[in-house]
Amino acid sequence: MAKDNKNFFKSKNSWSEIKDRLLGWYLRPYFQKVLMSRRPIYYVDCFAGQGKFGDGKPGSPIIALQARDACLSKTTLGNTTAKIDVCFIELNHAQQLSENIAEFNNNYGYPSVISGKYEETIGELLSGKRGTNVFLYIDPYGIRALDYELFEKFNSYGFHSLEMLINFNSFGFFRDACRAMGVAYNNDEALRDLDDLVEYAPTEINASPQSTELLSKIAGGDYWKEIVTRYNHGEIDGYKAERIFSTEYKARLRQWFNYVLDMPIRLKSGHRPKYRMVHVCNHEDGCFLMAQNMHQRKDELFTNIQQNRQPSLLNLIGNITSTIENDFMTTDEIKKLLVTYLKKLNGEIGLRKLLAGFLNEHGLLCEFNMLHEILEDLNKQGRIEITRTPAITLTGKPSSFWEEKKDRRITIRRKQL
């Protein structure tokens, strides 16, 4: 049964916290970095909500406005160059939202609130933003408004840069896909307990051509049908089906964006993931920053919320790491993937670009430390060459840092792989 979401804003639930921390932590360094392009930023929260929860906790609009004010109060660029325009689209709570964010009408700008539907208003809002840095936060209850074609279209507007953070309910999609193809899923744990995530005013999905057409519009093709057929034949379970579907969906996004990362999110402690946050951008710095962010939130999931998902014994005794997807992969397996990736490179590459490209291809397989260790090993074996600038520390020792900041740079060159 579809759940009525009227209580959504009464108090903030734990998985909304994770989502918002992912956004809040990312936006400050994002604003800071992108302002250096000396072009304006246009930030749109496309499903903005009420701005604040009943328990006083900030919603995504206030989180973004706090990040805006924090960055603009520190910048030395001057207020004609450093500009962050903020816009909120909200279908049901525009009035309440305007009241809740009134205190942010200040020297840094007046956020605009559009009362309406994202899918009907976003095109016009973005069409005049050529040369601007655009960030879209897309956090709907469900999937119905996520028209894939719109994402394709955004690329033709000539922005200076475009990034999106999307709450993508891939499990809900797959459940609807089963409904549309008349496939039973009732006993499948993967597709249960999705009620918190479903639509405000659900469109009935049933075995009809309209439903299949709608799903193909959301997915950007009808590849999902084959996944449902495999599920129906018992070749794959619900978790596997969702993984295959998400992988295909991300591959479609990669036709338009250089980097696509995602993070599976759980609704309750000890449960398996129920939806994904997907981040897309065109610059390696954005991908790298979001990967760091996702890793940090993953740790919070394990320690704060996922109390009972400590590393398993297997993890502690072996050369084995738990991935963000809850699978296990040995260091050797990860090393093989990294070596294969390195073999495709020509010439020198910056560490950040290397890692962003690798993560884009394989996802967040392991901590950065493990990738650093593998690279260090390959370096010692003479299979790659790692060059650090500055090469020598202030005390005259060879540099060994892994973090590129200020004037510190790391480049990798492949030798005998």
Ligand X SMILES: C[S@@+](CC[C@H](N)C(=O)[O-])C[C@H]1O[C@@H](n2cnc3c(N)ncnc32)[C@H](O)[C@@H]1O
The closest alpha carbon to 177, from 150, 147, 146, 213, belongs to 213
Q: Which of residues 19-38 bind ligand X (CB under 6 A)?
A: 20
Strands (E), 21-76: 41-45
- How many Å apart are CA 154 and CA 366, to the nearest integer? 32
H-type alpha helices, 128-180: 148-154, 170-180
Strands (E), 269-408: 273-281, 320-322, 328-330, 348-350, 384-389
Write down the residue that tokens 């007046």 correspond to: 110
Q: Closer to ligand X by CB, 145 or 177: give it.
A: 145
- How many Å apart are CA 67 and CA 325, to the nearest integer? 29
- How many Å apart are CA 84 and CA 42, to the nearest integer? 6
274 binds ligand X (CB under 6 A): no
Contact with ligand X (CB under 6 A) among 47, 88, 174, 358? 47
Residue number with the shortest CB distance to ligand X? 59
Q: Closer to ligand X by CB, 18 or 354: give it.
A: 18
Q: Closer to ligand X by CB, 122 or 290: give it.
A: 122
140 binds ligand X (CB under 6 A): yes
Contact with ligand X (CB under 6 A) among 139, 242, 262, 284? 139
Q: Which two tokens stand for residue 399?
A: 């540099």
Contact with ligand X (CB under 6 A) among 85, 90, 163, 242? 90
Exposure b/e, 117-127, CB count within 10 A at least 16 = b: ebeebbeebbe
Q: Tell me the window of 137-145, 208-216, 328-336, 388-396 that interacts with ligand X (CB under 6 A).
A: 137-145
Q: Closer to ligand X by CB, 81 or 96: give it.
A: 96
Q: How many residues bind ligand X (CB under 6 A)?
A: 19
91 binds ligand X (CB under 6 A): yes
**What's the min distance (Å) between Cβ of 18 and ligand X?**
11
13 binds ligand X (CB under 6 A): no
Q: Which two tokens stand for residue 215?
A: 């799903």
Query: What does the per-residue mask of binding to ligand X show for 190-219, with x meaning CB under 6 A?
Result: ----------x-------------------
Asked if omega into 398 is within 30° of 0 (cis), the reply is: no
**What's the min distance (Å) between Cβ of 11 and ligand X?**
12
H-type alpha helices, 82-181: 94-100, 118-127, 148-154, 170-180
| Alpha carbon of residue 346 to chain centroid | 29
Q: Closer to ligand X by CB, 68 or 93: give it.
A: 93
Contact with ligand X (CB under 6 A) among 89, 150, 241, 267? 89
Q: Which of residues 102-131 bind ligand X (CB under 6 A)?
A: 117-119
301 binds ligand X (CB under 6 A): no
Q: Tell me the window of 86-94, 211-219, 346-354, 382-390 that interacts with ligand X (CB under 6 A).
A: 86-94
Q: Tell me the window of 140-148, 220-228, 265-273, 386-394 that interacts with ligand X (CB under 6 A).
A: 140-148
**What's the min distance (Å) between Cβ of 220 and ligand X?**
19
Are 350 and 411 in contact by the 8 Å Cβ rule? The answer is yes
DSSP 55: T
169 binds ligand X (CB under 6 A): no
Contact with ligand X (CB under 6 A) among 40, 59, 264, 286? 59
**What's the min distance (Å) between Cβ of 151 and ligand X?**
15
Q: Which two tokens stand for residue 134?
A: 């655009």
Q: Count the residues in the chain.
A: 417
- How many Å apart are CA 358 and CA 366, to the nearest integer? 11
**What's the min distance (Å) between Cβ of 141 and ligand X?**
5
Q: Closer to ligand X by CB, 6 or 233: give it.
A: 6
Write down the residue that tokens 């479903």 correspond to: 198
Amino acid of residue 372: H
- How many Å apart are CA 27 and CA 80, to the nearest integer? 20
141 binds ligand X (CB under 6 A): yes
Query: What is the widest separation between alpha-carbon atoms in the chain?
Result: 72
277 binds ligand X (CB under 6 A): no
- Write phi, then psi, for 72 (nearest 5 degrees): -70, -25
306 binds ligand X (CB under 6 A): no
Positions that interact with ligand X (CB under 6 A): 16, 20, 47, 49, 59-60, 89-93, 117-119, 139-141, 145, 200
